[in-house]
A = this chain, B = another copy of it.
Amino acid sequence: MDEFGLIERYFQGLSSGAPGTLLGIGDDCALLQPPPGEVLAVSTDSLVAGRHFPPDTSAADIGWKTLAVGLSDLAAMGATPRWFTLALTLEAVDPDWLDAFARGLGEIAQRFGIGLVGGDTTRGPLNLNATVIGSLPADAAVRRSGARVGDAICVSGTLGDAALALAQMQAGLAPLPELRRRLDRPEPRVELGLAMRSMAHAAIDLSDGLAGDLRHVLAASGVGATIEVQRLPASVALLRGATQPLQRMDYQLRGGDDYELCLCLPGDRLQALQAVCGLPLTRIGTVTAEPGLHWVDAAGATLSIPEHAYRHFE
């Protein structure tokens, strides 16, 4: 089984159907026709075992997550997913593993209507790279740099579930299925990304933990923020699994792998946005002129939160 056979056998089914695909897998390059008048949004991510997923993660879940992280980046810009390339580095050719991987990848690709247009396979330590290409009208893109003083800061869904699942596994415990699912099958907020385009001033996806990711928005926008930590949205499973408030807050602020969106937008648009996207949105704070990130408790007293966020090289 050579690399050409591999790609054809497992992934050919994922390579058709995306509009504008003039030529898919099987030549030196794919040929793609972007929608007229739109610009491209592009992002690349590599996943490594033990760093981006626990070593015992199923092949189907790895397939899902390989594409989920890039789709989450597209969501954060407000882009429509169009195409992706896949570069697989595998220890060996294991048909069962590849079959399951392609199934998980196919599920998420089909769900978001994104077509596989380029592949590369090589032998080596497991490494999974997806480069995603989306498109959107140039003036619709939501950047990190557009936050304005007075904007409401909100997040979608709940925070900290994936971090709790990981912590429990590292402690030798089996997480609840709904927690483990947040870690293994993150839901890129593509629909929210499209809905927010006309309302949000700035956005980022939460892959490395709110505390670190929000700082990128503030730095790019030249503003600060006050965050009311008691407003951080938590799932029932998190509330039950992390009963110690400081520990829970740590999962929510620094855990990573949430793949929710954090948005800055006028507070009076929040309700309309929530109605459109059908996803819980929680206001957690406000953009301020004073630089820095200020955490306050329910009484408005300042809390000290270490700067440290999840970092890939620590």
Interface residues of A (CB under 8 A from B): 1-4, 6, 22-23, 26-34, 39-52, 73-74, 76-77, 79, 83, 85-89, 93, 117-125, 127, 129, 131, 133-134, 138, 141, 143-145, 203-205, 216, 220, 311-314
Of B89, B205, B313, which one neighbours A3 at CB under 8 angstroms?
B313
Which residue of chain B has the shortest Cβ distance to A309 in the bound complex? B2
Q: Which residues of B contact A89 (CB under 8 A)?
A: 46, 48, 127
Q: How far is the CA of A77 from the CA of B32 in the complex (A)?
A: 13
Q: Which residues of B contact A1 (CB under 8 A)?
A: 313
Q: Which residues of B contact A49 (CB under 8 A)?
A: 124
Q: Which residues of B contact A86 (CB under 8 A)?
A: 44
Of B33, B121, B141, which one neighbours A312 at CB under 8 angstroms?
B121
Which residue of chain B has the shortest Cβ distance to A311 in the bound complex? B2
Cross-chain contact A123 with B51 (CB below 8 angstroms): yes
What is the minimal beta-carbon distance from A219 to any residue of chain B, in angstroms?
Answer: 10
Of B43, B120, B125, B143, which one neighbours A125 at CB under 8 angstroms?
B125
Cross-chain contact A41 with B29 (CB below 8 angstroms): yes
State whether A43 and B85 are in contact (beta carbons under 8 Å apart), knowing that A77-B27, A220-B27 are contacts in the complex: yes
Q: How far is the CA of A46 from the CA of B32 in the complex (A)?
A: 21
What is the minimal beta-carbon distance from A151 to any residue of chain B, in angstroms?
Answer: 17
Q: How far is the CA of A87 from the CA of B143 in the complex (A)?
A: 21
Cross-chain contact A6 with B133 (CB below 8 angstroms): no
Cross-chain contact B44 with A205 (CB below 8 angstroms): no
Other than the given A43-B118, A118-B131, 6 more pairs (CB < 8 A) read A27-B144, A28-B203, A29-B43, A30-B43, A48-B123, A129-B131
Q: Which residues of B contact A85 (CB under 8 A)?
A: 42-44, 131
Q: How far is the CA of A48 from the CA of B3 in the complex (A)?
A: 15
Q: Which residues of B contact A6 (CB under 8 A)?
A: 313
Q: How far is the CA of A59 from the CA of B76 in the complex (A)?
A: 34
Q: Which residues of B contact A133 (CB under 8 A)?
A: 40, 42, 133
Q: Which residues of B contact A220 (CB under 8 A)?
A: 26-27
